C-alpha cells in the first residue's frame, strides 16, 4: 500500500473564504484537531499577509510537534523571510513558495516572461532552501499551464532543492481525466521527480475537487492538499474527510492509504463548523447530518437485516458513536465524561466542570440528552472568553400589539452595566440593548438559528456574524431558549471582536 500524505490547508486556503476567518485561539483549536487527525502537514497561514496571520503561523508552529507546519509565501525574499521568521519554532517547518505558470497569469498578473518565471522559481526555491529544511513549490494555475513549460519549471524547482512540487487546479477548471494525464506526464517528464513528493491541490468550482484529487492519486501523486468540510476560496477545496474515507473505503482500488485517524473526523468537522458558524449542508458526504441517515423503508429494512446492504461505511468509522445509553438528568459525571470521550472530546478541569454543569441544566429541561447535544455543549467550552462580557440577566417583552422591549445586564470583571432598548422584535431589541452597553462600533451582518436535534425541547444554536470595518467575526450561542441562544451568540461575537482588537 502506498502512503498518501495529507497536507491540510484549512487554516490558510480555507480561512481565505469569506466569513470563515478565525482568531488565534480558534486556529490553535483547529490545529489541535488536525494533529489528532494525524494529518502530515498543517498549512497555518500566509505569514507576510498580515500581523494576525504571522502570529497564527508562529503560534501553530510552536504548539504542533507531530505534524509539519507550513506557511505560504509568494516568490519574493520578503515573503520567504516572513514565512521563515514565523516558522522557526516548528518541529518540522516548511516554506511553501508559489508562482503562477499559466500564460494568462504570467502575462496579465505577473507581467513576466516564461523565462523570467523559470529563473525566479530557481532563485526563490534556492533562497527558501537556504533557510528552511523543507520547501514546497506550487505552480499556481498549473492545470491551465502548458504541460511542457510546467515540467521545465518543476524540474528547475527540484534542481534548486524543492522537496515537494505541487500542482494546483487553482480555478477548479480541470476534469478527472485531464488531471490523470497531467500527473502522469509530470511523473514522466520532470527531471529528478524521484527525489520529490508530487502533490495535488484542487478547487471545487465545477464540483470536481475530490474526484480530481483521487484521479491524481491513481496517476501517482504522493500528497493531497485539502481542507476540513471542504471550505476554501469560492466553491472550496477538496474535502479532507472525503479524500480520507474514499481511500480507506476503496484501498484495494487505489492501492493507497492515508495515516488519518478517521475516528477524529466528526469532532474536527463539528469544531470547525462551530467556530466559523457554517454547518455543512445536510447531504454533504461523510459529515452532513444526513450522510448516514436511511429514510426509504426498503433501505431501512435492508440495513436492519445487514448494514452492508446499503452502508459502504460505518458511522463509527468517522467517530459518530451509536449511543447505547441515553443520558438524562440522573446520569452522573462519570457517564458524561465517558460519553465525551466516545465522542472524541477530552475536556478536563474547569472546562469539564462547566460542560457538566450545562449538561445538568439541559437534562432538567429535556428528557433525553443526545450525543449531538453533548457534542454541542462540549464545543461551547471553546467559546468562553474569560475576560469578556458575561450575561447577568435579561428581560424581554414582546407581542403583536406592543413594540418589543429588552433589558440586558452584562458584567465584565467588577463592572456591571444594564441597558434597555426597543427593537423590531425581541431579538433585535436585546441586540440593541447589548450594543448600547458595549458602545456600538459594529454592524450585524447575518443572524441564523438552527436546532441541534429534533423535537420541541431541542437545543437551539444561534450564529451571528458581526462586521467591523472589513472584518467579519462569528459569534455562537447555545440554549433550549432561542432568545438566550441569540443573546449568548451576540455577546460571544462582541467578546471575540475585543480579543481581536
Footprint of ligand KIV (CB under 6 A): 13, 72, 98, 138, 140, 166, 168, 170, 201, 203
Query: What distance, in Å, lies between the first and last C-alpha atoms of the chain?
Result: 49
Stretch that binds Zn ion, among 10-18, 26-34, 49-57, 333-341 (CB under 5 A): 10-18
Question: What number of CA atoms fall less than 13 Å from residue 311's CA on the CB side?
Answer: 21
Residue 27, binding choice from Zn ion, ligand KIV, none, Cβ under 5 to 8 Å by partner class = none
- Contact call for residue 43 and Zn ion (CB under 5 A): no
Taking the complex as a whole, the smallest distance from the CB of residue 211 to ligand KIV amounts, in Å, to: 17
Residue 266, binding choice from ligand KIV, Zn ion, none, Cβ under 5 to 8 Å by partner class = none
Alpha-helix residue ranges (DSSP H) falling in 137-262: 147-159, 176-189, 209-218, 240-249, 251-254
Q: Which is nearer to Zn ion, 196 or 209 (CB)?
A: 209
6-33 burial, b at 16+ Cβ within 10 Å, e below that, comes to: bbbbbbbbbbbbeebbbbeebbbbbbeb
Taking the complex as a whole, the smallest distance from the CB of residue 172 to ligand KIV amounts, in Å, to: 9
Measured in residues, the chain has a length of 501
Residue 389 three-state SS:
coil
Residue 262, binding choice from ligand KIV, Zn ion, none, Cβ under 5 to 8 Å by partner class = none
Q: Which three cell numbers stand for residue 499?
A: 480579543
Residue 138, binding choice from Zn ion, ligand KIV, none, Cβ under 5 to 8 Å by partner class = ligand KIV
Q: Which three cell numbers stand for residue 349?
A: 478541569
Taking the complex as a whole, the smallest distance from the CB of residue 70 to ligand KIV amounts, in Å, to: 10
Do the beta carbons of residue 89 and residue 54 sit within 8 Å? no
Taking the complex as a whole, the smallest distance from the CB of residue 150 to ligand KIV amounts, in Å, to: 13
Q: Which is nearer to ligand KIV, 136 or 372 (CB)?
A: 136
Do the beta carbons of residue 222 and residue 4 sit within 8 Å? yes
Q: Which is nearer to ligand KIV, 100 or 406 (CB)?
A: 100
Q: Which is nearer to ligand KIV, 7 or 431 (CB)?
A: 7
**Three-state secondary structure readout of 42-110:** EEEECHHHCHHHHHHHHHHHHHCCCCEEEEEEECCHHHHHHHHHHHCCCCCEEEEEEEECCHHHHHHHH
Pick from 8, 13, 53, 163 the residue near Zn ion by CB under 5 A: 13
Q: What is the Cα–Cα distance from 264 to 459, expressed in whole angstroms? A: 23
Residues whose CB is less than 8 angstroms from the CB of residue 396 and which lie 6 or more positions away in sequence, other chains included: 404, 405, 406, 407, 426, 429, 430, 483
Do the beta carbons of residue 99 and residue 139 sit within 8 Å? yes
Which residues contribute to the site for Zn ion (CB under 5 A)?
Answer: 13
Amino acid at each position: 500500500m502506498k502512503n498518501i500524505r495529507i497536507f491540510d490547508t484549512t487554516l490558510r486556503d480555507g480561512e481565505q473564504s469569506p466569513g470563515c476567518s478565525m482568531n488565534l485561539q480558534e486556529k490553535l483549536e483547529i490545529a489541535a484537531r488536525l494533529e489528532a487527525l494525524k494529518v502530515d502537514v498543517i498549512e497555518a497561514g500566509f505569514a507576510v499577509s498580515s500581523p494576525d496571520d504571522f502570529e497564527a503561523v508562529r503560534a501553530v508552529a510552536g504548539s504542533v510537534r507531530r505534524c509539519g507546519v507550513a506557511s505560504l509565501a509568494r516568490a519574493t525574499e520578503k515573503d520567504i523571510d516572513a514565512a521563515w521568521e514565523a516558522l522557526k519554532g516548528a518541529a518540522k517547518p516548511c516554506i511553501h513558495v508559489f508562482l503562477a505558470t499559466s500564460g494568462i497569469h504570467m502575462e496579465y498578473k505577473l507581467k513576466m516572461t516564461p523565462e523570467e518565471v523559470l529563473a525566479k522559481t530557481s532563485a526563490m526555491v534556492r533562497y527558501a532552501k537556504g533557510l528552511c529544511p523543507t520547501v514546497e513549490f506550487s505552480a499556481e494555475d498549473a492545470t491551465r499551464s502548458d504541460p511542457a513549460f510546467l515540467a521545465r519549471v518543476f524540474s528547475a524547482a527540484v534542481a534548486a532543492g524543492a522537496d515537494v512540487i505541487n500542482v494546483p487546479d487553482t480555478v477548479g477548471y480541470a476534469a478527472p481525466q485531464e488531471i490523470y494525464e497531467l500527473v502522469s506526464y509530470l511523473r514522466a517528464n520532470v527531471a529528478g521527480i524521484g527525489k520529490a513528493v508530487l502533490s495535488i491541490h484542487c478547487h471545487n468550482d465545477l464540483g470536481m475537487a475530490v474526484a480530481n484529487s483521487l484521479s491524481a492519486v491513481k496517476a501517482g501523486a504522493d500528497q493531497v492538499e485539502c481542507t476540513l468540510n471542504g471550505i476554501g476560496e469560492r466553491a472550496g477545496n477538496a474535502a479532507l474527510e472525503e479524500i480520507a474515507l474514499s481511500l480507506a473505503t476503496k484501498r484495494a482500488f487505489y492501492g493507497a492509504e492515508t495515516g488519518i485517524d478517521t475516528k477524529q473526523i466528526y469532532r474536527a468537522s463539528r469544531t470547525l463548523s462551530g467556530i466559523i458558524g457554517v454547518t455543512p449542508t445536510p447531504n454533504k458526504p461523510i459529515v452532513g447530518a444526513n450522510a448516514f441517515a436511511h429514510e426509504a423503508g426498503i433501505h431501512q429494512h435492508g440495513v436492519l437485516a445487514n448494514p452492508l446492504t446499503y452502508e459502504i461505511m460505518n458511522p463509527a468509522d468517522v467517530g459518530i458513536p451509536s449511543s447505547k445509553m441515553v443520558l438524562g438528568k440522573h446520569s452522573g459525571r462519570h457517564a458524561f465524561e465517558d460519553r465525551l470521550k466516545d465522542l472524541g472530546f477530552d475536556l478536563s478541569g474547569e472546562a469539564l466542570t462547566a460542560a457538566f454543569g450545562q449538561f445538568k441544566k439541559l437534562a432538567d429541561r429535556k428528557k433525553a440528552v443526545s450525543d449531538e447535544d453533548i457534542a454541542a455543549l462540549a464545543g461551547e467550552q471553546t467559546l468562553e472568553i474569560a475576560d469578556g462580557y458575561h450575561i447577568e440577566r435579561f428581560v424581554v417583552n414582546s407581542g403583536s400589539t406592543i413594540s418589543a422591549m429588552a433589558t440586558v445586564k452584562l458584567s465584565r470583571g467588577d463592572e456591571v452595566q444594564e441597558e434597555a432598548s426597543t427593537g423590531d422584535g425581541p431579538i433585535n431589541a436585546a441586540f440593541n440593548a447589548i450594543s448600547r452597553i458595549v458602545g456600538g462600533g459594529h454592524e450585524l451582518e447575518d443572524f441564523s438559528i438552527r436546532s441541534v436535534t429534533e423535537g420541541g425541547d431541542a437545543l437551539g444554536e444561534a450564529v451571528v456574524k458581526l462586521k467591523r470595518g472589513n472584518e467579519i467575526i462569528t459569534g455562537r450561542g447555545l440554549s433550549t431558549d432561542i432568545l438566550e441562544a441569540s443573546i449568548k451568540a451576540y455577546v460571544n461575537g462582541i467578546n471575540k471582536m475585543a480579543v481581536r482588537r
